[in-house]
Structure 1
Amino acid sequence: MARWSDYTTGERIKILRGKSIRQSDLADMTGLSLPTVQQAEQDKRLTLQTLLRIADAIGVDTSVILGQQAPRRAMEQQDRTMMRDLSRAVHDTAAGLVPEGVEAAGLDELRDITDRCWRLYWDGRYAEAGAIAAPFITSAAARLREQAAGEQSPAWGVMSDAYRLAGYVANLMGNRDLAYAAIGQAQVAAERGGDELRQALVTSGRAWVYLRDARLADALRLAEKSAVDIEPRFSKASKNELVAFGSHVNFAAVVASRTGDKERTADYLSQSHATGARMGGEHQAHGTLFGPVSATTQAVGINLALGNTGKALTLMKSIQDDDLSALSGAATNRYQMDRAMAYADAKMWDASLDVLEKALTKDPEWGRHQALPGVIVQKIGKAGTARLRRVSELIGVAPTGANGSLPSAARTAV
C-alpha cells in the first residue's frame, strides 16, 4: 500500500486536483500558465510562488503537497476550500478581526441562520453547513462589535453557537486542531454570555472532540459533567430542556460504552430512555434532536460497543421503518450503519451488505465522511461477493479478501 510520502510532488498535485479540475482549470484558478501547471505535475519545475498558488487554489497546506502531511480522508477540493475559509473565520474573529464590509445582521436573523446550519448538519450536509458557518461567524462577530456595552449577552450566545457549529464540522471532517480551537472559543463566548445551558452544551461538544481524539477518560468526565449540569427538574421541564438533557445523557452513555464501563452505560441508557418516554416524540432544540426513537436507535450502537450483539439485534426488531421518519438524515444513516455492524457481528454477511449498500447509495455525500462503513467492509471481507466489491467501491476501501489493504493515499486524497 502506497503511503502519501511515496508519491512525487507532481503526482500529489494531480491527485489533489482530482477528476473534477482539469489542468487548464487549475491554471485559471491560480493565474499560472498551463505549461507551468503541466511542468509542476511532471516534476520538472516547481517554484515557491507556484507551490503557494496551487496550495491556495486547491485548499491545502503546502506541507500536504510536499508530502510532509497526508491529506484528510474523503476531502475533495470544495471541502478543503470550505475548511480553509472556516479556519480563517474562527481564528480571525477570535483575534478580534472582522473583515471590512461585513454587515452586522440582526440577532433574530442570526438565530435563524443558526437553526438553518444545524438542520443542514443533522441532515448530513456537513460541507454545506460549514460553508455557511464561515460567513455566519464573521457576521455574528460584527453584530457583537455593534452591540452596546451591557447589552452583549445575546450576541455572545450567538457567537457561542456559531463557534460550536464550526467545531462540530471540523471534528467530523477530521480537522482536530480547528475543532479544539473552535470549541474553545465557543466556551469563552458562552461564559461571557452568562448562559449556563450553552456552557453545558459546549462542554458536551468538547467531550465529543476528546472522544474522537481517543481521550476517553477526559471525554467521559466532561460528558458526565454536561449531563449533570443540564439535568432539569422533570416535573417542570420543558421539551427543550428534555431534549438537551436526553441527548447529552445519551452521549454520556456512548462515551461510557467506549470505556467498557457497563454499569455506567446502563445507568445513562436508563435515564435516556426515561427522558425519551416522557417526551413522547422527537423534538428539536439547541442544535440537536431527541426523543424515544433517538434513545432506542442510539442504544443499538451503544450495545454494539459493549459487545452485546444479541441485545442490539433485539432492539432493532422494535424499530419500524416509520419510526425512522422522525429522525434527521444523519441520525437515520448512523442507525443503518449500526444495523449493518450488528449483522456483521452476527456473521449475517448478506444482511449487513444489503443495509450498507442501500444506505451508501441513498446518501453518498454523508457516507464519504464516515469511517464506520470501511470498518464493516473489512470485517466481512472474507465474503468475496460481487456485492462486497460494489460496496467497497462506494467507499474506496479494498476488502480484506481482495488484497488485505486499507484505502491507498490516492483513493483517500480525493
Structure 2
Amino acid sequence: MTADFGSRVASARKRRGLSQRDLATAAGLSLSLVKKVEQGQRETVRLETLRALAVALRVRTTVLQGAHTDAEWADEATVDLWEPVRRALAGGPDDLEDRPSIDGVRAVYDGLRPALTAHRYTEVAAALPALLRDADALDERDGRAIRSRILGMVGWLLVQNRQFDTATEALTRAIDQAPDRGTAVAAVNAQVWNHLRQGELALAAELAQQWADDIEPRFSRATGLQLALWGRLWLYVANVGVRDNSPGLTDDALALARAAADRIGREVTYDPSPHRPFGPVTVAQIAGECAVITGHPERAIAIGESIPATAVVSATAAPRLRHRLDVAKAHTQLRQYGEAIAVMRELHHTAPEWLPQQRYARDILGEIIRGRRTLTDDMRTLADAIRLEY
C-alpha cells in the first residue's frame, strides 16, 4: 500500500471533519486499521474495506483507491495445473504432421462444452494445449473466428482460475482475432470481468461502457444475442457501480440491463463455451449481489427465493453459482450460519473445482468459523475443500 493511498483517506477524513475514531465507527472498522491505512503501514487493503471507507467518507471508492488493486492470485496447485496451457499460448515450433481443419478444431472445441459447463478444470486444462496448437496452425484468415472463440474461452478459464496476466494476453488476442464485433464482445465481457476480479474498477467501467456504447442495439430489430451481449456489459457496469459507492450508476446500469432482459423475455446463452447466460434471472441475481454489498441481506435472500428453478438455464452456470455464494453471504450477515453452511455444502457438491477458486467463499466461511470454539464436520470439510488458510 502506498503512502498516497493513506494520504487520500486522511485528506477526505479531515475535509469531512471526522476524527480517526469517528471514521472507524462510521465504516465499521477498527481504529487500529484506520490508523495503519492512513500511515501507509498496510501493504494491501481489501476492496470491501475501501468501499466501507468510501461510504463513511461519502466519496467514490476509486477516489481513495488510486492505483491499488485487490487480486488474489492462483495458488501453487492451480498454477501447476495450467502451466501447459500457458506454454501453448506462448506458441512454439509448428511440428504438426497432419494439418488441422476448421471443422476438426471446432468439433474438439464443441466437445469440451460438457466439461466446461460442469467446471471440470482438470479435464479441460489437459485438452487445451493441443487445441490451442491446432487453432494456431489454421489458416490465418479463415481460422480467425474459431481461434477467437477458443482464445476467449481460455481467457475466461484463466480469469476463473486467478491467472490474470495470462488471461489478459489471451483475451486481448481473442478480441484482435475476432472477425467482427459480435464475436469480439464475448471476449470483451471476460476482459471486463478480469479487471473487476482484480479490483480494477476504473478500467472495468471504462471498457464496459465503451463497448456498450459501440454495440448498442436497436431494440425493435435486435436479436436476443445482441441484446444479451449488450445487457451483460451493463451488468458489469452495475457491478462496478456498487463497489465504487455510486448508487446512481448502479441503478441506471441495472435498469438498462433489465430493459434488455425484459425485451428478450427469458434466459439466453450468449456464449456456450463456457456456458454464460443473460436474461431476467441473471439480472435478478446481480441485483441480489448488489443488495449483499450494500448491506441488505434480506433483499438478497428474497431475490434468491423468487427465482423459480425452471427459469435457471444451468445449475452450474457461473452466474448462478456466484448468486448462491451471495445467498450464503446474506445468511452470514444475518448470523444464520446453518443456512449459510448448507448453501456452501450444496456448491461444493455441484461445482467442486469451481469453489476453491472463489476467495469470496473463503471470506464467507472464515467469517463463520472465526468466532467458533469448535467446528462441525461440514465446516472442516469445507475449509479443506476451499483451501482456507489456518
TM range (shorter): 0.7 to 0.9
Cα 1:183–1:85 shift into 2, 3 Å: same
Offset, 1:272: 1.9
Residue of structure 2 equivalent to 1:140: 135
Aligned equivalent of 1:250, options 228, 235, 249: 235
Residue of structure 1 equivalent to 2:145: 157
For residue 174 of structure 1, give the secondary structure of its aligned residue in structure 2: coil
Cα 1:240–1:353 shift into 2, 3 Å: same
Give the length in aligned residue pairs.
316
Cα 1:324–1:266 shift into 2, 3 Å: same
Offset, 1:381: 2.3
Cα 1:262–1:379 shift into 2, 3 Å: same
Given that 2:267 and 2:311 are in contact with CA atoms closer than 8 Å, whether structure 1 keeps it comes out as: no
1:19-66 CA distances to partner (integer Å, 9 max, x unpaired)?
xxxxxxxxxxxxxxxxxxxxxxxxxxxxxxxxxxxxxxxxxxxxxxxx
Aligned equivalent of 1:279, options 249, 255, 264: 264
Q: Does 1:83 align with 2:82?
A: yes
Using the alignment, how far apart are the partners of 1:359 and 1:385 within structure 2? 25
Using the alignment, how far apart are the partners of 1:388 and 1:259 within structure 2? 37
Aligned equivalent of 1:345, options 322, 328, 333: 333
Given that 1:353 and 1:387 are in contact with CA atoms closer than 8 Å, whether structure 2 keeps it comes out as: no
Q: Does 1:370 align with 2:344?
A: no
Residue of structure 1 equivalent to 2:68: none
1:184-241 CA distances to partner (integer Å, 9 max, x unpaired)?
2223223xx3x12233333332222222222111111112222222321111111221
Alignment of structure 1 residues 324-343 onto 2, 5 Å = 324=312, 326-343=314-331
Residue of structure 1 equivalent to 2:102: 107
Moved more, 301-310 or 319-328: 319-328
Using the alignment, how far apart are the partners of 2:310 and 2:342 within structure 1? 19
Residue of structure 2 equivalent to 1:270: 255
Using the alignment, how far apart are the partners of 2:328 and 2:281 within structure 1? 18
Offset, 1:138: 1.4
Residue of structure 2 equivalent to 1:179: 167
Residue of structure 1 equivalent to 2:45: none
For residue 285 of structure 1, give the secondary structure of its aligned residue in structure 2: strand
Using the alignment, how far apart are the partners of 1:298 and 1:140 within structure 2? 35
Structure possessing the higher relative contact order (Cα contacts under 8 Å, 6 or more residues apart): 1
Q: Does 1:239 align with 2:238?
A: no
Moved more, 175-184 or 305-314: 305-314
Cα 1:292–1:98 shift into 2, 3 Å: farther
Residue of structure 2 equivalent to 1:305: 293
Given that 1:300 and 1:316 are in contact with CA atoms closer than 8 Å, whether structure 2 keeps it comes out as: yes
For residue 396 of structure 1, give the secondary structure of its aligned residue in structure 2: helix
Given that 1:246 and 1:275 are in contact with CA atoms closer than 8 Å, whether structure 2 keeps it comes out as: yes
Residue of structure 2 equivalent to 1:218: 203
Cα 1:384–1:362 shift into 2, 3 Å: farther
For residue 368 of structure 1, give the secondary structure of its aligned residue in structure 2: helix
Offset, 1:375: 0.7
Cα 1:388–1:222 shift into 2, 3 Å: farther
Using the alignment, how far apart are the partners of 1:358 and 1:327 within structure 2? 11
Cα 1:177–1:184 shift into 2, 3 Å: same
Aligned equivalent of 1:380, options 365, 368, 386: 368
Cα 1:225–1:116 shift into 2, 3 Å: farther
Using the alignment, how far apart are the partners of 1:132 and 1:333 within structure 2? 24
Using the alignment, how far apart are the partners of 1:180 and 1:102 within structure 2? 31
Residue of structure 1 equivalent to 2:389: 407
Offset, 1:102: 5.8
Aligned equivalent of 1:394, options 376, 382, 385: 382
Using the alignment, how far apart are the partners of 1:398 and 1:227 within structure 2? 35
1:324-355 CA distances to partner (integer Å, 9 max, x unpaired)?
35454433322211110111112222211222
What TM-score does the superposition give when structure 1 sets the normalisation length? 0.68
For 1:155, the aligned partner's letter is: G
Residue of structure 2 equivalent to 1:47: none
For residue 347 of structure 1, give the secondary structure of its aligned residue in structure 2: coil
1:376-408 CA distances to partner (integer Å, 9 max, x unpaired)?
112222563876552343232899xxxxxx615
Cα 1:366–1:397 shift into 2, 3 Å: closer
Residue of structure 2 equivalent to 1:9: none
For 2:84, the aligned partner's letter is: D
User: What's the C-alpha RMSD, in Å, of the aligned pairs?
Assistant: 2.8
Residue of structure 2 equivalent to 1:354: 342
Given that 2:228 and 2:268 are in contact with CA atoms closer than 8 Å, whether structure 1 keeps it comes out as: yes
Gaps of at least 5 residues in structure 2 are: 1-71
Using the alignment, how far apart are the partners of 1:398 and 1:208 within structure 2? 21
Residue of structure 2 equivalent to 1:3: none
Offset, 1:356: 1.5
